[in-house]
Amino acid sequence: IMWEFRSMSFWRAVFAEFFGTMFFVFIGMGAATRFVSGPHYVLSVAFCFGLAGATIIQSIGHVSGGHINPAVTFAYLVSSQMSLFRAFFYVAAQMSGAVAGAAVLYGVTPGTMRGSLALNKLQPGISLGMATTVEVFLTLQLVVCIFAVTDDRRNGRLGSAALAIGFSITVGHLMGMYYTGAGMNPARSFAPAILTRNFINHWVYWVGPMIGGAVGALLYDFMLFPRMRGLSERLAILKGSRPPEDESQGDTQGEPIELKTQAL
């Protein structure tokens, strides 16, 4: 723990998570304010969130990993790819960054439009169980995508990992907005709820993404592409007594990988 605490790169990574989540919420939620509504509303919001995510991940991925989502950080924790200490500070930075971004957006949005900032709400006929299941599946596909496109053991990676993750966010919104508003990210759901003082069914947007993130991590790391680590090694990484090491299968040099979680 102490080697991370004393590391300047650790604090740069924490700030990057604050910075990235702030702009992700500001831009994505800004597109969701209903200044103009119509048949293309869902499409524009989905692509704005997706492109914002891709841009931010490309910008800060080499600094912090570009999680900008507590569910993603939790998935990396479940996968024993980061310490509990780092995960705690990442989530704290993400939450405070999301609130900061939403607060700025709230301040520049006319009072008559501020109610639309509460994007996450259950659509008519959607029960709590249905909503939680949708959030689980949306976040699960996001985490599996993130783990797959940033796996440094993988040969033959083509294209941009950040863009692939952005499309995963877009796909989740294109489907999920018709059910739950497509949370997929507890920080971005929490921030507008604080400002609009609307916590109705808010637990769905924590329980669903966290379960989805954990299941996605376990599915990828134990079934799709297992990581050969013993229990003692995993516990050492979680305690922060050793950094996670690169695991390679074949030649993986020559391409930068976003969303690495080890100390830089």
pLDDT in tens, 20-41: 999 999 999 998 887 666 768 8
Residue 159 CA to residue 137 CA, distance in Å, equals 25
Greater confidence, 4 or 60? Answer: 60
Residue type (1 letter), 39: P
Task: Provide the token pair at 132.
Answer: 């939680």
Alpha carbon 47 to chain centroid, angstroms? 16
262: pLDDT strictly greater than 50: no
How many CA atoms are closer than 13 Å to the CA of 167, on its beta-carbon side? Answer: 7
2-239 adopts what CATH topology? Glycerol uptake facilitator protein (1.20.1080)
**Can you give the pLDDT at residue 210?**
98
Q: What letter does residue 117 receive in the DSSP assignment?
A: G
Lowest mean pLDDT among 32-36, 119-123, 161-165, 181-185: 32-36
Q: Kindly give the residue spans of alpha helices, DSSP state H, lying in the chain.
A: 2-5, 8-32, 41-64, 70-78, 84-108, 128-149, 161-176, 186-196, 204-219, 231-239
